Amino acid sequence: MIHRIFFFLLIVFLPTQLGLHFWPEWSYVLGRRIDFLSPTLFLSDIFLLLTCVSWSISWIRSQYTISNHQYPTWKKKNLYLFISSFFLFFIFIYFNCVNASSRSVAVYSWVKFFEYLLLFFYIVKTKPSIHLLSIGLTIGVLYSSGIAIGQFLLQHSLGGIFWYLGERTFTVDTPGIARFPLCLPSFLGCIELLRSYATFPHPNVLAGYLAVGIPIALQYQKSKIKNQIYKFQNEKIDAWLNGLQKIAIVLGLVALLVTFSRSAILMVVIFGLFSVVKVFYFDRFRHMNTEKISNLKNQRSKIQIKYQKVFGTIRNSLLGICTLLFVIPLCIVGLYVLRSVSPFDESVVVREELVASALKLFQSAPLFGIGLGNFIVRLPDVLTAHAVYFLQPVHNIYILLLTEVGVVGVAGFVVFVLLFAKSIKGLVLSIKGIKLQSVCYPLLTILVLGLVDHYWLTLQQGQLLLTVILGYVLVSMKDQVLGERY
């Protein structure tokens, strides 16, 4: 189906930031252009809209019976619930926009929200395979990591064709560029290294993408590609894709290191340690139980079982050693990066000021918020004079959401999640059926990283990835298992 192709392209090109920017008057704050406020048509927007439009056309054709001209009927109860929910939702949007200092920014932000809502419902309704997501993210991780490693080695942007993927032009000496101070022994002094951006607007965004993408690629590294995509079974294509995913995982870990993102590296270290425990304990236990059941059913000889145990032990040991070889460097770099953190660092001080400013803004409009997307617009009103130059969202998605949509908006979101899960009990039971390494761990990564950064709610790549992961999680909650659907 054509909408599957567009969805796959959306996942592949999710890391890109190639787009057409517009700069209306309301995208300026204190006379400065603000990227967060600029209406932009991204390449990923085009793929998203093509996905939803092509699926809508195919859905309408499948629902409409030409022979008897009958349209699908809605149950009255569901129809009334749908209409009343949307009516209340639009009332909230009205008050949220009315309270906004810049109503144009609020309206544009809500338009983007509905765009992502379309993608969310597309995933929930069509249930695309997790393998499709894995392959798309593998390709994205592969070229993003290659660009990131190249930037770190050269200490400047690669340029050329990569500009068309959204890579910005910069060097290690560019004002405002993200750097990491590497302090060598005293006789060598300290040097500043460029933190890799790839095609993302900031190294932290690249790190967040890798922290989410690598576990998904790792979990489904051995997945098979079904006939629905290639029309035929080809073992060479399978082997090629498996090799591609292995390369992407290795390059992704290296690229993660050169972003020097403390929080993302820490999350991947935790995932790596969990994988080691899983390999040495859970998989071994499951392997032994499988052998016992197989022995009872097939009455295998003791020699066969002995060889299987030896092979299983060797396999698990090799997997554990390989995992440790990647986890140990991550731990070393992570500890070194964490050592460089000081409570008096500019980044720490700025984040504290942004949190304090967010709380002041929340107090000014606690019910309906200050307006979606209006945090930066209102920021100069509460910041001290010396800090007005740090025009960026608060680095916490929960505080940011509470500030912009208020208590009513946050409560409405919680009610929506509970209604979708039917009940708290159903939510808990469903989560127990989700494979941690597939979509639950990436969601946990997003929720944790959201405590220290804002890009999941403010930047195109973060918003798209959050929407996709939420969609897959809720699909898994409904189905209990991740089937191989296309």
Mean pLDDT of 248-256: 92
Residue type at 139 in one-letter notation = I
3-state SS record for 219-232: HCCCCCCCHHHHCC
For residue 434, is pLDDT > 50? no
Please report which confidence band the pLDDT of residue 440 belongs to, taking 50, 70 and 90 as the band edges. Answer: confident
Mean pLDDT of the chain: 79
**pLDDT value of position 239:** 74
DSSP H helical segments within 127-184, as ranges? 130-154
**pLDDT value of position 459:** 95
Between 116-130, 158-172, 332-346, the lowest mean confidence (pLDDT) is in 332-346
Between 122-131, 213-222, 237-246, 472-481, the lowest mean confidence (pLDDT) is in 472-481
Mean pLDDT of 461-484: 77
Quick one: how far is CA 188 from the chain centroid? Answer: 39
Please report which confidence band the pLDDT of residue 391 belongs to, taking 50, 70 and 90 as the band edges. Answer: confident
Question: Which residue, 32, 258, 278, is CA-closest to 146?
Answer: 258
Total Cβ atoms within 10 A of residue 96: 26
Mean pLDDT of 137-148: 94
For residue 20, is pLDDT > 70? yes
Question: Which residue, 320, 314, 309, is CA-closest to 285?
Answer: 309
For residue 54, is pLDDT > 60? yes
Contacts of 78 (CB under 8 A, 6+ apart): none
Please report which confidence band the pLDDT of residue 170 belongs to, taking 50, 70 and 90 as the band edges. Answer: very high
For residue 471, is pLDDT > 60? yes
For residue 484, is pLDDT > 50? no
For residue 23, is pLDDT > 90? yes
**pLDDT value of position 270:** 81
For residue 151, is pLDDT > 70? yes
Mean pLDDT of 455-460: 94
Residue 115 and residue 52: Cα distance in Å, rounded?
10
- Are 210 and 256 within 8 A, CB to CB? yes
For residue 233, is pLDDT > 70? no
**pLDDT value of position 433:** 47
Mean pLDDT of 239-257: 87
For residue 464, is pLDDT > 50? yes
**pLDDT value of position 383:** 78
**pLDDT value of position 221:** 54
**pLDDT value of position 241:** 78
**pLDDT value of position 7:** 96
Between 61-70, 343-352, 389-398, 473-482, the lowest mean confidence (pLDDT) is in 61-70
- Are 440 and 470 within 8 A, CB to CB? no
Mean pLDDT of 278-302: 52
Task: Tell which wins on pLDDT, 226 or 323.
Answer: 323
**pLDDT value of position 278:** 64
Please report which confidence band the pLDDT of residue 58 belongs to, taking 50, 70 and 90 as the band edges. Answer: confident
**pLDDT value of position 486:** 38
> Which helix H or strand E contains 29, and what residues bound it?
strand 28-29
**pLDDT value of position 427:** 47
Hey, which of 53-67, 141-155, 294-308, 404-418 has the most confident mean pLDDT? Answer: 141-155
Taking the model in full, what pTM does it have?
0.82
Mean pLDDT of 265-279: 76
> Which helix H or strand E contains 373, and what residues bound it?
none
Q: What is the DSSP-derived secondary structure letter of residue 393?
A: -
Between 93-102, 300-309, 314-323, the lowest mean confidence (pLDDT) is in 300-309
**pLDDT value of position 341:** 55
The percentage of residues in the chain with a pLDDT greater than 90, rounded to a whole number, is 41
Please work out, in degrees rounded to the nearest 5, the angle formed at the alpha carbon of residue 333 by the alpha carbons of 332 and 335: 65
For residue 374, is pLDDT > 90? yes
> Which helix H or strand E contains 381, and what residues bound it?
helix 375-382
DSSP H helical segments within 13-42, as ranges? none
Delimit the domains of the chain by residue range: 267-341
